[in-house]
Amino acid sequence: MSTDTHIVAYVEESEFDVVLNGSEEKVVVVDFTATWCGPCRLISPLMDQLAEEYKGRAKVVKVDVDSNKPIFKKFGLRSIPAVLIFKDGILAETIVGVSPYEQFSEAVQKLLEVV
C-alpha cells in the first residue's frame, strides 16, 4: 500500500480483497478516485476526516480508478467520485458524486450500530 500526505492509504487491485475481508475493522469505506477528477479532490478531505473520526472502528482506503479499472468495473461504477461502504466484506452502501460529510458519517455510523 502506498501512502501520501493523507491518512487514507491507496489500495491496489491485488490488495483489495485482503483489505475488505482481512481488516480488523468490520466496516471498510472505499473511495474510488482519480488525480484528474476535480470533484474527487473535494471529497478527499472528507475521507481523511472520516478516517480520523472512525479510527479503529472503520477503515478508509482509496482506489485510483486509472490504475485499477477492473475493481471499478466489478462494482458497475460509471462515474467518480464513488464511495462504497462495506460491512464484513459485503457492499452495504454506495454514494456517487460529491456529498456532504454527514452523508458519509451517517452511513458508517449506521453500519457500526448493526450487529
73-95: pLDDT as tens digits: 999 999 999 999 999 999 999 99
User: Is the preceding peptide bond at 81 cis, omega within 30 degrees of 0?
Assistant: yes
Catalytic residue among 19, 29, 40, 107: 40
Q: Name the domain count of the chain.
A: 1
Look at residue 99 and tell me if it is in a domain.
Answer: yes
CB burial string 43-62: b at 16+ within 10 A, e below: bbebbebbbeebeeebbbbb
**pLDDT tens digits along 20-51:** 988 788 999 999 999 999 999 999 999 999 99
Task: Tell me whether residue 106 is one of the annotated catalytic residues.
Answer: no
Domain harbouring 33, CATH code: 3.40.30.10
pLDDT at 4 over 60: no
Residue 83, pLDDT score: 98
d(CA 76, CA 29): 17
Question: Catalytic annotation on 23?
Answer: no
Which one is catalytic: 37, 77, 92, 112?
Answer: 37
Looking at the domain assignment, is residue 63 inside a domain? yes
Query: Which residue range forms the structural domain that includes residue 80?
Result: 9-113
- Look at the pTM and tell me if it is higher than 0.85: yes
Structural domain includes residue 64: yes
Query: What mean pLDDT, rounded, does the chain reach?
Result: 91
- 2 part of a folded domain: no
Does 25 fall in a domain? yes
In a domain, 81, yes or no: yes
Q: Three-class SS of residue 28?
A: strand
